[in-house]
Amino acid sequence: MLKKGLSILVFGAMIFAPTLARAQSNFNPNFIISDAEVQDSHSWSRDDVQQFLNLRGSFLRTYTAPDASGTPKSAADIIYEAGLNYNINPKFILTTLQKEQSLVTDDSPTQKQLDWAAGYAVCDSCTTDDPGIQSHKGFGNQVDNAAGIIRWYYDNTDKSFVKKKDVATTIDNTPVTPQSWATAFLYTYTPHLHGNTNFWRIWETWFGQTYPNGTILKSASSSEYWLLVDKTKRQFKNMTALITRADPKLAITVPDADLANYTDGPIIAFPNYSILKSANTTYLLDYDTLRPFASDEVVRAIGYNPDEIIDVTDTDITGYVIGTTITTSSTAPAGVIYKIAELKEPYFYVKDGIAKPIEKQIIDANFKKLTTEKHTLADLQKLTLVMDPVDFQDGTLLYLTDINRFYVVENGKKRPIADRETFNIMGYKKTNALPISMAVAARIADGEQIFLNSSLLSSKEKFLGDSEAPVADIFKSSLPAYLIAEYPTGRIVAGKNIDTKFPIASLTKMLTAYEALNQNFDLKKSTVYSTKKYASEGNVLKLKNGEKILNEDALASMLAISNNDLARLIAQNSGPSSENAFIQTINDRLADWGADSTQIVEPTGLDPKNISTPRDLLKIFVNIMKNDIIKTAINRPAYTFKAIYDPKIGRRKIVNTNLLYTNKKLPYDILASKTGYINEVGANLLMLVQDKKTKKQYVVITLAEKNYTKRFVEPDRLAKMLVSGQIKLANLTN
């Protein structure tokens, strides 16, 4: 009889509450990178460095400069040789160059960026004109100095100014206890959280072991296939070994430089479920386990063909785990699927006399090669029933159709892929994803989110606003904070207090709109307004209880005139189950984007605890502008729509809250704009402007203007100076 009651078999019909919370792997200020990683100087060859620069379309791929001895060399040679000379990983040097001056991704770096490539000898209060630091000027010197100082730190840990492993310190008013010498040295080199968070993010994006366990990778330069297991890559010796474990069409093609991020594991030499015969024993290969047959008679009794037996030496099978012995009483030692017609949930995975429930989708995804046999309930009752359902195998790509979201299974958990950009960059294909329902997804625990920064990986989308290079207040603004940057690269050309946090007021609504659209907020549907659910200060449209508004008009009105009620309406009618859940998805996305100094607590901007910095707002804006719907909505001087809830009103016209739109004589065009105001901070403004003559585009961000009546005066002055030539941005190249 069954070892457990059949009543348990209704598990498949139970209702599971969806628990699809996203997990985010956060920056740990106490441990940024290991000492082994920093000192792995042989991780890459010179050609690997060159290929890395080539793949990213980097300016440095063709750049030559004198090295520290004055000999002209390529950037790749300078980086590689500095790594060898000081026993420092060339990947560490590349990450430093990106963190300090965005040199890997900047298509046209200034001479100043190249001359101070690693930020070496340039302190927060220094200028690059200081005569005392000119000996460190030049790309070759900077690379050599940056690698050399890390080696010097390792050799001089007793010096008082060198931060210490396992010794508490304070960085930007935050207590930190470095858990590796490398982490301590990073804080010695750059004593700020922002710069080191940026270092970690760059390192993880470029060199972190990004793909989950179970992923099949294919070399872009050869026919080699590899299986990822516990941060190692295991090569398949031949196609037979591959196809008995996985479907080759699921493989993701990657450059060899990406494969080099994983250490080599044991080669997968034999097809799965091979019969291997050593001098003394015959085995069934069950993935990485060798299961001995009790005797040759058992091999024959089970029905294996002698021609299928592979002779091996003890060396061939070194490293395999020895599993349970197979006897004549072993039922389906290689596994089989039972289908029980009498049961509502008919499928069971049977192996060694043990039966486990399994869903048809898991069979299709991971067990297609197993035979499905029709059996009766009486047959099942002869087996031991274990009610732990069979999970999806590691590396399985899932598509949750209810919310249009992709996941990858790893260690029994589903890891959400952050966005479509990450999905595409990593090489996943929708055709390889297994569609699942919310009920199936809810049974799988949540794992850490998978996110890649496209601006660090794509040769087309590059964001340069994270550079640690000093930012000058060349516009001499009276405002507490402002920032001006090139668009779309994000290269910051001027600013003041760009890393200081301020309440952002209604600039919040850009995030509300972006997240709503990513949560499938249906613009073609309408929503009934409820004062109980949505009422808040700032109902500019004077919506009444029970009135209906088209979602498209709600989104446009929220952005154009900062209607707060509509922000709450949109937040509560998007994907997540509550407004609080909606806010959490915004903060998760901000973490994905690296907007580390931004925190949102509600969707309108009325709460002064919605905070950000000018640098973060630049990053947020550049990302949001990739959405064409929002890009159009925040570039409307006015917006007209039909009031569907009251035919007597007819068409309604709303005017953008940025009054600069009304000035037709401006020397610049406003391509996008969002205003914000609350008493706690004053007036904020974010604009994308275009020089009417040169057609160059710039982001202008101004914060904390306390004089409400003059809230557009300083932004206008900055934009006019920007396009008039009064400020020579070209001088920044010196």
Q: Which residues make Cβ contacts (< 8 Å) with residue 395, sequence separation at least 6?
A: 212, 213, 214, 215, 216, 228, 246, 250, 408, 409, 410
CA–CA distance, 31 with 326 (Å, rounded to integer) = 47
Kind of pairing between the strands at 225-229 and 216-219: antiparallel
Tokens of 431: 């055709």
Q: Which residues make Cβ contacts (< 8 Å) with residue 256, sequence separation at least 6?
A: 48, 51, 219, 220, 221
Is residue 48 a contact partner of residue 206, using CB atoms and an 8 Å limit?
no
Percent of the chain as helix, strand, coil, to the nearest 5:
35, 20, 45
Tokens of 610: 């919605």
Q: Which residues make Cβ contacts (< 8 Å) with residue 295, sequence separation at least 6?
A: none
Partners of residue 398 on adjacent β-strands? 407, 434
Write the CA distances from 675 to 278, 368, 654, 665, 703, integer angstroms: 76, 56, 15, 21, 10
Q: Helix or strand or coil: residue 362?
A: helix
Burial of 295 (0-12, 13-18, 19+ CB in 10 A): middle
Q: Helix or strand or coil: residue 168?
A: coil
Known active-site residue 506: yes
Known active-site residue 478: no
Known active-site residue 530: no
CA–CA distance, 449 with 472 (Å, rounded to integer) = 37
Is residue 192 a contact partner of residue 176, using CB atoms and an 8 Å limit?
no
DSSP string, 214-269: T-EEEETTSS-EEEEETTEEEEBSSHHHHHTTS-GGG-EEE-HHHHTTSEE---B-
Task: Select which of 454, 562, 574, 597 is catalytic.
Answer: 562
Establish whether the linkage from the previous residue to 488 is cis, with ω within 30° of 0. yes
- The amino acid sitting at 329 is S
Task: Select which of 180, 506, 612, 673 is catalytic.
Answer: 506
SS (H, E, C) 474-526: CCCCCCCEEEEEECCCCCEEEEECCCCCEECHHHHHHHHHHHHHHCCCCCCCE
Is residue 218 a contact partner of residue 254, using CB atoms and an 8 Å limit?
yes
DSSP string, 73-86: EEHHHHHHHHHHHH
Task: Select which of 509, 574, 612, 619 is catalytic.
Answer: 509
Count of positions (residues) in the chain: 734
DSSP string, 687-722: EEEEETTT--EEEEEEEEE--GGGTTHHHHHHHHHH
Partners of residue 277 on adjacent β-strands? 282, 311
Phi and psi, residue 677, nearest 5°: -155, 130
Give the annotated binding-site residues for substrate.
674
Q: Which residues make Cβ contacts (< 8 Å) with residue 658, sequence separation at least 6?
A: 670, 673, 674, 675, 685, 687, 712
Write the CA distances from 261 to 52, 142, 255, 326, 488, integer angstroms: 12, 26, 11, 39, 30
CA–CA distance, 144 with 133 (Å, rounded to integer) = 15
Is residue 259 a contact partner of residue 233, using CB atoms and an 8 Å limit?
yes
Of 218, 231, 232, 215, the residue nearest 266 (C-alpha): 232
Interhelix angle 508-518/551-561, rounded to 10 degrees, is 160
Is residue 333 a contact partner of residue 291, using CB atoms and an 8 Å limit?
yes
The catalytic residues are 506, 509, 562
